Chains A and B, each alone.
Chain A
Amino acid sequence: MNSPAHSSRCSRRRFLLRGAAGTAAAVVAGRQRGRTAGSGDTNPYAYSVGVHEKTDPALVKYVERRRIDLPWKEARRLAVTPQGNLLVAAGQRLGEVTPDGSAVREVPMAAPLRCVAVAADGTIYAGFRAHLEVFEADGKRRATWEKSPERSWFTGIAVTDDAVFAADAGARVILRHDLAGQVTARIGERDKDRDIPGFVLPSPYLDVEWHPDGLLRVNNPGRHRVEFYTPDGALEFAWGRPTMAIEGFSGCCNPVNLAVLSDGRLVTCEKGLPRVKVYSAHGDFECVVAGTEMFPENAQAGAGDGFGDGTRASLDAVVGPEDRIYILDTVTAQIHVMERKPTANS
């Protein structure tokens, strides 16, 4: 500050000039940045199956009549009682609702319930992770069947007049029990001699359904197909192919659950691209019951927020009176009541 005024002013001017030049350079750089930015608002690495999330409305032959909000958490599976009410396996309880959606009762269980089925006489068969229990129609426990010695993980039950078929996803087998709980046959195990390839189960979704035509329907998600077995365990035929297109089974492991219409046609449930479709018994794609649009939360949920065991987002379907289809969305804990659209040519 001691320098002559002249020199000081001179350096000041120089300083200002340089400052202005620097600012201009910074502004230019900023502008440049402004022009090239803007890629931050999209995800260049998005994994998108968006095209498959839309269903051709012409293929949807069902209409949603009602949506039931279940009062229970962790609803996993459904079954229909002979009276037409719905049984819900939800966490550590078995709930019952009327088709109108009002809760009738709930029966507490000792462990998380994984599957449930009802016999024609009203007897309830409940599957836990590694054992089965039998209940009277009024919810009183009648029997606890022996704990399975294997690494069992029961995920589906089907009941006939004289047998109970339990799908054991852990052991990759369908166990046929007599009504006393004795295992009388093992179905679907890998067997080269009988040309049975075995179940491929990346996740615990193995369902078994029975139809009076005498064949068991079992899904084989890892092979993207449905297999038909005789009660003796002979693989009669199988169909299904992996594709996200509507006529096939999507993702790594679908279908996850099955239901049978009164005439033997099959209702299939998928996860990932949550959708429910109807196939003829011989695998011809017939129509869509509910497309992915109906389950937006389910589609987003994925494997996140597990029920404690890593399973979460799936659909289950059961067929009620008049071939009404009830779909359980495990993410929203809602039941969608679906009825066939009234068209004369159907």
Chain B
Amino acid sequence: MPSLNQPSSPVSRRDFLRSGARIAGMTGAGALLGLMAQRAGAVTHVWQIDPAKCVRCGRCATDCVLEQSAVKCVHTHAICGYCELCTGYFEPEPNALNTGAENQLCPTAAIIRKFIEDPYYEYVIDEQLCIGCGKCVEGCNRFGNGSLYLQVRHDRCVNCNECSIARVCAGDAFRRVPVDHPYLLKTSH
């Protein structure tokens, strides 16, 4: 918009400066993009708990941004002992080895106990009820084989940029894993 009446146009001078800055900005953004593109991952990452580092501090139940934590207990049956007296299922000194509420460890009764054959019992997690508190995990890990452990369930997790549980995890057990291998499951070998 050259002005005919004025000998020098501050507007055009400013426009020139602007263009320079814009080009500089674009160059900078381009350089950054080039630099980062080399490092950028083709896959996104999701949060997961390394069961070997989990210390069962209970913060998974209390610190998730979701009302009901995205962390749930999972059970690898292949390393379960199928104990009649399961320390992940029963209170430390159970009154009797039955499914009465007074004997159960789980605060939401999310573990289902089923008789298979003498002397073996199967334990299954009901994820609708599980709040991820890790109480059973500690019981199983302390005395048993550690077949119960906590994992982030990705059908629930909203994958925050910075996981609010990871920030306070007492065991520093959270890490980002590639989205195509989203679980750190215990296996039988």
Measured CB to CB, the residues of A under 8 A from B are 39-40, 43-49, 52, 200-203, 222-224, 242-245, 250-254, 271-273, 299, 302-305, 310
Contacts and interface: CB of A to CB of B under 8 A. Distances in A.
Nearest to A251: B143
Contacts of A273: 143
B140 interface: yes
B146 A222 contact: no
14 contacts: A39-B62, A46-B58, A46-B138, A47-B135, A47-B136, A49-B142, A52-B92, A200-B84, A251-B85, A252-B85, A271-B143, A272-B87, A299-B142, A303-B144
Contacts of B56: 47
Main secondary structure of the interface of A (DSSP, over half): loop
A49 B83 contact: no
Given A52-B92, A251-B87, A45 B143 contact: no
B100 interface: no
Given A45-B134, A251-B142, A303-B145, A222 B83 contact: yes
Interface in B136-179: 136, 138-146, 168
Contact of A252 (B136, B138, B144, B168): B144
Contact of A250 (B107, B138, B140, B143): B143
Interface in B65-110: 79-87, 92-93, 105, 107
Contacts of A39: 62
B184 interface: no
Interface string B3-30: 0000000000000000000000000000
Contacts of B129: none
Contacts of B85: 224, 242, 251-252
B146 A252 contact: no
Contacts of A223: 119
Contact of B93 (A201, A244, A254): A244
Contacts, number: 99
A249 B79 CA distance: 22
B61 interface: yes
A303 B58 contact: no
Contact of A310 (B63, B79, B119, B139): B79
Contacts of B112: none
A59 to B, nearest CB: 18
Given A43-B58, A302-B143, 4 more contacts: A45-B134, A47-B142, A49-B142, A251-B144
Contact of A303 (B57, B140, B168): B140
Contacts of A242: 85
Contact of B81 (A45, A252, A272): A252
Contacts of A45: 58, 61, 107, 133-135
B93 A253 contact: no
A302 B93 contact: no
Contacts of A200: 83-84, 119
Nearest to B52: A304
A117 B145 CA distance: 26
Q: List the 3 closest A-B pairs by CB distance, nearest first.
A: A202-B81, A303-B146, A251-B143
A223 B84 CA distance: 9
B149 to A, nearest CB: 9
A305 B81 CA distance: 18
